[in-house]
Structure 1
């Protein structure tokens, strides 16, 4: 049996383990260890298992993970999401569908200091959904806007998915963060336009709520969110201007969020403890996954599976654009059935060499991967964001939530098309950073 066949068998065994509930990191580690032993020797595999875990995590760059995670948990504990929603509501409440638009805008703001899609969706479910229900919004639009807006948490930096992609592919995390800014802003605008169009076609989805806020009210709305905006500008602007690295930006972001929480007197000892414990739990999960990914990467390298796939696609006669469209279509289908983290860890080690061989920029490919992961987070039948919302709002059937997210899925597909036609949307800021 040749090594490539062993690699394919190992890949499907790993999927089978995950199907039976084995954690992602453990499944990757088991398959990588046994597969490496089969291809090389058990002694080599034992040496690998002794060295790989340390080499996977003893990396200064990975210190950004707990720091950005802590930044998000501190923001969640101190009510930043509620402030962002209140400010957005003041500016948009007079429009038809304005509360749903405000939800998307608040999700974008919370994503800028969170990095987690699930945390963004959960926060906005508690903050925005009661308000939309109060004014008679259709449950499809209300839950759909929250589920879709929540996905911005992994596109607008800081993003945990960008961190993991950058670690696996050895791509600059700072450039990946900057690459997500303009697509994130554009997708936020597309979501708002989606709400405007759907409510124009069916006004019963979102009745008008309140009168237009005065200029003074709008000015006061900025009082509670200017500090958050400045913190995001400091972190991302500092990386763009070459003032500090991504790791230093993570430290500044976490420290700035802590100071902001203390200045507003909203951080109790209990809230701080919850934030720290949640950070430890999240970091531990990510660390186990990264160790498993590194072990699996060694196995894939010795089987030559990624290189064989790249060669096969290069000799297929298809154009690079056609191959990329096939990859995107495959990701959109996989996203409907798989967790986005599992999808990235399983496929990027195989498809990344294909992307490089086709001449695509690794930074651009990372943004495309994140956008298709966003679609997977709300696409039926899995859609983790939908499950989070459904678990918190039990009187809204999942069928209605899925119907509500369909227009937003169309907006994501439109963004993918724009990225294919205009790669500079993702590459301009990384290319011009100092």
Structure 2
């Protein structure tokens, strides 16, 4: 093995060691990239690379989309749009067996369209819908598992910060990825609803039926939810039909969400301060991650290690299907060690060239990556959304929440299998709108 390729492997190993020592992922990747490039070309050019990559990323309009969408989600939560969505979904299906769980899934999907964050969606509906399910006799584990799983929809349904990160690093259009995620998102919601229906038929005692809403109550719920419908359709529709760029759509959405919050007189100095500080914190974390990934990616490109990996895999004669399955297993195992987003970012310089060499579309792979991340947010030992719900409802045992998410994990595995078997489900809509 040539020297530069071996140096890349040492850099990758050093990144994992730093991450294991709780160094932030972006910082760990940046250190490995700078040190590795410094060994190859000298530390003068390596330090210059820090300045150039930082400047390029800070000037990126695509990355500016992330803090704007985060701010939009904060203002939407401040305006009470999540509660409106849940009340509407409850008024429609709440009387059915498992109806409150279905309403939670519907509410999470709708709020994901104005939030873009899995953790924020889970935390919001952990407060909005979990008490309602528990009060109506739902099994604590099933109720908590439903909220945790519904929360994962926040990173698949546009706008999604993770998709922006992937688009920037893979040099793909954000709008294309957002449009490609729409059909998989509908499949996800449908499979979640089917899962609830089947589970509650097998175990009816875990999800009692509730009273049926009157026509007046349904009309009121529909009337109260118009702001979130207008907001989500403006943001997603504006991008899909080319009215706005992704950045412009995020800015318009943030302003609209703030206006709704102001109109409902829900803006307070303290809540506004929390929203702005939370947005700044999330944006800083993401920028550090992307800058670190750019530094390591530049170093890996110089060593030509990704090309060497592609050539080695092609020479081995491994069947494509086996290679894809191996990558799936690798990401799921990596998710048991550290965050799935970190796994995606760290491995992208090597995995993406491999995927494209097999003839797959980078947009398709981006959606598959997000679906895998959704899985990782539910399965032990990390299961980020599980721990979010545990924080919201500390009285529910962690083991019960993991049992509650088990049916949804199976649903997500089925969805992953469908998208792997039928890539046109991801690529069809972008091609139609492009044409």
Which TM-score bucket, shorter chain as reference?
A: over 0.9
Q: Which moved more, 1:270-279 or 1:21-30?
A: 270-279
Q: Secondary structure at the match of 2:297?
A: helix
1:76 maps to 77
Q: Secondary structure at the match of 1:315?
A: helix
Q: Which moved more, 1:246-255 or 1:267-276?
A: 267-276
- Tell me if 1:127 matches 2:124: no
Q: 1:78 offset after TM fit, Å?
A: 2.1
Structure 1: distance between partners of 2:47 and 2:271: 43
Q: Which moved more, 1:302-311 or 1:164-173?
A: 302-311
The answer to whether the 8 Å contact 2:179/2:429 transfers is yes
Q: 1:316 offset after TM fit, Å?
A: 2.6
2:386 maps to 386
CA deviations 1:231-283 (Å, max 9, x no partner) are 21122112221222111111111111112222222222332222112111111
Q: 1:141 offset after TM fit, Å?
A: 0.6
1:147 maps to 148
1:376 maps to 376
Q: Which moved more, 1:390-399 or 1:13-22?
A: 390-399
The answer to whether the 8 Å contact 1:108/1:188 transfers is yes
1:38 maps to 39
Q: Secondary structure at the match of 1:395?
A: coil
Structure 1: distance between partners of 2:62 and 2:139: 45
Q: Secondary structure at the match of 1:103?
A: helix
The answer to whether the 8 Å contact 1:338/1:376 transfers is no
Q: 1:204 offset after TM fit, Å?
A: 1.6
Q: 1:11 offset after TM fit, Å?
A: 0.9
Structure 1: distance between partners of 2:33 and 2:131: 47
Structure 2: distance between partners of 1:355 and 1:345: 15
Equivalent positions of 1:132-281 (< 5 A) are 132-210=133-211, 212-281=212-281
Q: Secondary structure at the match of 2:294?
A: helix
Structure 1: distance between partners of 2:412 and 2:260: 33
Structure 2: distance between partners of 1:139 and 1:152: 21
The answer to whether the 8 Å contact 2:79/2:257 transfers is no
Structure 1: distance between partners of 2:395 and 2:51: 50
The answer to whether the 8 Å contact 2:118/2:151 transfers is yes
CA deviations 1:383-408 (Å, max 9, x no partner) are 11111111222221211111111111
1:429 maps to 429
Equivalent positions of 1:343-354 (< 5 A) are 343-354=343-354
The answer to whether the 8 Å contact 1:334/1:376 transfers is no
Structure 2: distance between partners of 1:404 and 1:268: 37
Structure 2: distance between partners of 1:169 and 1:40: 25
Q: 1:415 offset after TM fit, Å?
A: 0.9
Gaps of 5+ in 2: none
Structure 2: distance between partners of 1:281 and 1:343: 21
Q: 1:310 offset after TM fit, Å?
A: 1.7
RMSD of aligned Cα (Å): 1.4
Structure 2: distance between partners of 1:223 and 1:22: 48
| TM-score, length-scaled by structure 2 | 0.96
1:400 maps to 400
1:327 maps to 327
Q: Which moved more, 1:3-12 or 1:366-375?
A: 3-12
The answer to whether the 8 Å contact 1:52/1:295 transfers is yes
2:314 maps to 314
2:11 maps to 10
Q: Secondary structure at the match of 1:403?
A: helix
CA deviations 1:49-74 (Å, max 9, x no partner) are 23221122211222211111110111
1:358 maps to 358
The answer to whether the 8 Å contact 2:82/2:124 transfers is yes
- Tell me if 1:102 matches 2:117: no
Q: 1:368 offset after TM fit, Å?
A: 0.3
Q: 1:207 offset after TM fit, Å?
A: 1.6
Q: Secondary structure at the match of 1:213?
A: coil
Q: Secondary structure at the match of 2:113?
A: helix
CA deviations 1:163-196 (Å, max 9, x no partner) are 0000101100011111111111210111111111
Q: Which moved more, 1:303-312 or 1:32-41?
A: 303-312
Structure 1: distance between partners of 2:224 and 2:324: 43
Number of residue pairs matched? 433
The answer to whether the 8 Å contact 1:242/1:433 transfers is no
Structure 2: distance between partners of 1:391 and 1:265: 29
Q: Secondary structure at the match of 1:146?
A: helix
Structure 1: distance between partners of 2:157 and 2:358: 27
1:90 maps to 91
The answer to whether the 8 Å contact 2:79/2:260 transfers is no
Structure 2: distance between partners of 1:418 and 1:215: 38
Structure 2: distance between partners of 1:262 and 1:316: 61
Q: 1:353 offset after TM fit, Å?
A: 0.8
